[in-house]
Amino acid sequence: MKIIVVDDEIIQLDRLKETVAEVVPDCELNGFSNPLEALEWSKENLPEIAFLDIQMPVMDGITLAKKLKIQNPKINLVFVTGYYEEYVFDAMPLHFSGYLQKPANAQKVRQELDNLRFPLVKKESEKKLRVKCFGDFEVYIGDKPLNFSRAKSKEVFAYLIDRKGSKVNGNKICAVVYEDVGNETSNKSSLRSCIADIKETLHSVNADNVLIKGWDSYAIDTSLIECDYYDWEKNEPYAIHAFRGEYMAQYSWAEETLAYILNK
């Protein structure tokens, strides 16, 4: 996470830098008393968050913010000013992430960083698969959706994701995914084909270990995937922000989990 702090008054600059460093000690933090230097640095380094004083000689904070947005439209702008009401209307067209009265204490800075206009998500870790449950269910390898050869296979995989690592037997999967369609024998046969398809699809992206198969039991190794729903349960800010009222929207059986999320 790259953060810049810009204030022409050195004392204010140092104070805010200290506060930001206290809240996010592992961020890459750079302070500038000269807005032009901040702009030059940002051109190469594209910070994600900028705390900006407004009233500055050389270049005021509003103008600096406009130029930073051209460099990076997703930059989170947090104005920090002693002239609170004076600049609100000038700042608003920039869709700032935050607007604070000086001095900005650690609590206020933390609040801003927890509620960014353009939330930051973690980089892809060593986990290969990324699962999106909010909105439509989708599985990604890198930025590309993973293609199951059968829609039902994807649905079975979604159900296992929904179970969060718990083992599920074939009868239960059939009861949920097939509902009242078909007979038991044909559904079980179809399920076997789906599991074979899931295994093959995971194998094609070197993610074989994600599916744990026992005798008539199936589960997901949750430690091998990134999942917005799992991160939501851990109160990860990006996941909380990602939830827009829909969970695995294609699957009616997912409504139970959706109700749980909405009630939490």
Partner 1 sequence: MKQINVVVLGNNRPDLEMMTMYISESLEKHEECKANIIGFIDPDKAYEYIVQNGCDILFSEAELCGTDGLNLLQKIRKDYPQINIVITTTYEEYIVQAVQMQIRPAGYLSLPTTLSKMKDLIESILSLPQTAKVV
Task: Give the binding site for partner 1 (CB under 8 A).
Answer: 1, 48, 73-74, 84-85, 88-89, 92-93, 95-99, 111, 115, 117-124, 238, 240-242, 244-246, 262
DSSP per position, 187-209: HHHHHHHHHHHHHHHHHHTT-GG
Which C-beta is closer to partner 1: that of 4 or that of 195?
Answer: 4
Q: Please, what is the minimum distance in Å from the beta carbon of residue 55 to partner 1?
A: 17
Instruction: Give the burial class of 235: count Cβ atoms within 10 A of its Cβ; 0-12 exposed, 13-18 middle, 19 or more buried.
Output: exposed
CA distance 85 to 62: 14
Q: Please, what is the minimum distance in Å from the beta carbon of residue 60 to partner 1?
A: 18
Q: Please, what is the minimum distance in Å from the beta carbon of residue 123 to partner 1?
A: 6
CA distance 112 to 51: 10
106-114 and 10-23 helices cross at what angle (nearest 10)?
60
Q: Is the CB of residue 53 less than 8 Å from the CB of residue 80?
A: yes
Which C-beta is closer to partner 1: that of 123 or that of 144?
Answer: 123
Q: Please, what is the minimum distance in Å from the beta carbon of residue 111 to partner 1?
A: 7
Which C-beta is closer to partner 1: that of 34 or that of 111?
Answer: 111
Which C-beta is closer to partner 1: that of 41 or that of 99?
Answer: 99
Which C-beta is closer to partner 1: that of 41 or that of 118?
Answer: 118
Tokens 């805010």 belong to which residue? Answer: 16
Which C-beta is closer to partner 1: that of 120 or that of 219?
Answer: 120
CA angle 151, 152, 158 (to 5 degrees): 95
CA distance 91 to 101: 14
Q: Please, what is the minimum distance in Å from the beta carbon of residue 73 to partner 1?
A: 5
CA distance 89 to 91: 5
Q: Please, what is the minimum distance in Å from the beta carbon of residue 227 to partner 1?
A: 15
Instruction: Give the burial class of 20: count Cβ atoms within 10 A of its Cβ; 0-12 exposed, 13-18 middle, 19 or more buried.
Output: buried
Which C-beta is closer to partner 1: that of 43 or that of 74?
Answer: 74
Q: What's the Rg (C-alpha) of the chain?
A: 24
Q: Please, what is the minimum distance in Å from the beta carbon of residue 239 to partner 1?
A: 10
